[in-house]
Amino acid sequence: MEFVVVGLGVFIIICFCFISDYVEKTKMKMEELNKEIERLNKEVELRDIYKRELERIDYDKEIKSVGIEKMTISKEHQYRVVGKKIPKILVGDYDSFSARNTCGVLMKMGFDVDVVETAEDVIERVKNFMHYDLIISNNEYYGSIHKSKINRSYQLLDELKEIEDFDTPVIVLTVSNDRDKFISYGFNEHIQKVLDEDKVREVFPKVLKKLKFETIEKQ
């Protein structure tokens, strides 16, 4: 009887050791599998970020190239920004016609301009410590090809203000002429579409201090 009990005890101990070893090996395999899944997810995320950034660059180039050509043909250029430091401006606008006109006006006047399509693009640029002296945002982003989850300018403004140390002035560009409403949202200024050089000269110095323009003599 004692032999049976001892044998049973040894068997139980062996089973326990086997199970413990199995559990430990399974746990290690699960950890390795989770790490591999995490690594693959990061690779996919980095690939998507890289692809999206290439698309942003293409959008920026296409909008600005057509925009500057359009402004050269369609509107007489009258003013140029002057100074040791030329302001860098980020334009957020999904509408290609509006974006081309905005960028064309600003570039012809001598500003350094980047353009992005969605509200999320604007936020990502700011979060990645890309410095801009001014942000110009379209009032809506419903038509973004990449389907911006933030569809209104005031929602974008709220998100930007949540970013630590964010103090860049934001101007809303919209068909609405209700300036008081947008100022109450917290925008630094309001410009009614479409942007032109006279509106830039009138509004920009209100948010970019000591901004000066020179008049280009007519040929």
Residue 125 domain flag: yes
| Chain centre to alpha carbon of residue 144 | 13
Residue 181 domain flag: yes
Please state the domain count of the chain.
1
Q: What pLDDT shows up at residue 4?
A: 57
Residue 138 domain flag: yes
Q: How far, in Å, CA of 213 to CA of 106, rounded?
A: 12
Mean pLDDT over residues 93-116, rounded?
93
Tens of pLDDT, residue by residue over 133-175, are 999 999 999 877 787 889 999 999 999 999 988 999 999 999 9
Q: Is the pLDDT of residue 212 over 50?
A: yes
Q: How far, in Å, CA of 90 to CA of 130, rounded?
A: 10
- Across all residues in the chain, what is the average pLDDT? 85
Residue 38 domain flag: no
Taking a C-beta distance cutoff of 8 angstroms, is the pair 185, 200 a contact?
no
Taking a C-beta distance cutoff of 8 angstroms, is the pair 126, 166 a contact?
yes
pTM summary value: 0.77
User: Per the structure block, which two tokens stand in for 132?
Assistant: 């801009």
Q: What pLDDT shows up at residue 135?
A: 98
Taking a C-beta distance cutoff of 8 angstroms, is the pair 58, 114 a contact?
no
More confident residue, 99 or 59: 99
Cis peptide before 82 (omega within 30 of 0): no
- For the chain, the residue count is 219
Residue 111: CATH number of its domain? 3.40.50.2300
Taking a C-beta distance cutoff of 8 angstroms, is the pair 60, 115 a contact?
yes
More confident residue, 78 or 48: 78
Q: Is the pLDDT of residue 192 over 50?
A: yes
- Domain around 108: 66-215
Q: What pLDDT shows up at residue 27?
A: 78
Residue 134 domain flag: yes
Taking a C-beta distance cutoff of 8 angstroms, is the pair 139, 176 a contact?
yes
Tell me the backbone φ, ψ of residue 87, rounded to 5 degrees: -60, 140
Whole-angstrom CA distances from 54 to 15, 137, 146, 199 are: 58, 21, 13, 32
Q: Is the pLDDT of residue 178 over 80?
A: yes
Mean pLDDT over residues 56-80, rounded?
79
Residue 36 domain flag: no
Mean pLDDT over residues 107-118, rounded?
94
Q: Is the pLDDT of residue 180 over 70?
A: yes
Residue 132's pLDDT band, with cuts at 50, 70 and 90, is very high
Residue 16's pLDDT band, with cuts at 50, 70 and 90, is low
Q: Is the pLDDT of residue 219 over 50?
A: no
Whole-angstrom CA distances from 145 to 79, 97, 116, 212, 213 are: 34, 14, 12, 37, 36
Residue 92 domain flag: yes
Residue 51 domain flag: no
